[in-house]
Amino acid sequence: MLVEIAQIDIRNGDKEKNLERICNIIKNSKSDLILFPELFTTGFVGEKIYEFAENLNDSKTVERLSEIANGKIIAGSIVEEDNYHIYNTFILVDDTGIIGKYRKIHLFQEEKDYFCPGSEISVINTEFGRIALAICYDIRFPELFREFMKNNAELVLVCANFPSIRREHWNVLIRARAIENQFFVVACNRVGEDMRNKYPGCSIAVDPWGSVLTVADANEELLICPINRNRIAEVRKGLPVLEDIRLRY
């Protein structure tokens, strides 16, 4: 499986321009899966977030992405409206439409003013294996990733707007989540800035041993990373730590 991490800036509140750029990246990609940042069509725009919310049953964004997927899986989060509730929702889209979704469970501070928290984890069967979804602040909660492992996830995708002020935590947390559970973690963070924060990029892919497969700097960049699922069994056989878990929840 070939994964592409699209570390891009986001034009805050300019959905059409963002989508135009995203569609160009997809059309030019030769990867199996393309991962975009959190809220990749809008960014965080405070109270204006309600103007950009889409019902996934009638989403123009999903429709556009699906039309150009051409055998690829497209991943990232958008603003979802469902029954007058607003969610930060991670979607997986292919030629057929949405094949998986996850509503962000762990909301950070002011996010709680705009979004409702999700309540269910998401591990999706795909032709490339079992893929779990997480969003930004989620990486601080190891119990979520342990649930992914219990549900036989092989690859966790993380989309993020992780700020520069906490940059030192980013790589450490991503690598820790991969090492603890002996699966792949691929994380895409945005660059640029909005009214709240600056964003450092530093998108990263980590294998089940914790080895960094690829990492970006603070500029816009498209990273390509092969994922070999056989590596999971290799690592777990060599160091069968998961067999020694004694505390059950």
What does the pLDDT look like over 202-214, one tens digit per residue? 999 999 999 999 9
pLDDT at 249: 55
Is the model's pLDDT at 2 over the cut of 60?
A: yes
Q: Supply the mean pLDDT for the chain.
A: 96
pLDDT at 47: 85
pLDDT at 248: 64
Q: Where in the sequence numbering do the catalytic residues fall?
A: 38, 104, 136
**Is residue 70 packed enough to be buried (19+ CB in 10 Å), middle (13-18) or exposed (0-12)?**
exposed
Percent helix, strand and coil across the chain, each rounded to 5?
Answer: 35, 30, 35
Sequence spans of domains, the chain: 2-244
Q: What percentage of residues in the chain have a pLDDT greater than 70?
A: 99
Mean pLDDT of 73-100: 97
pTM attached to this predicted model: 0.97
Is the model's pLDDT at 247 over the cut of 80?
A: no
CATH of region 2-244: 3.60.110.10
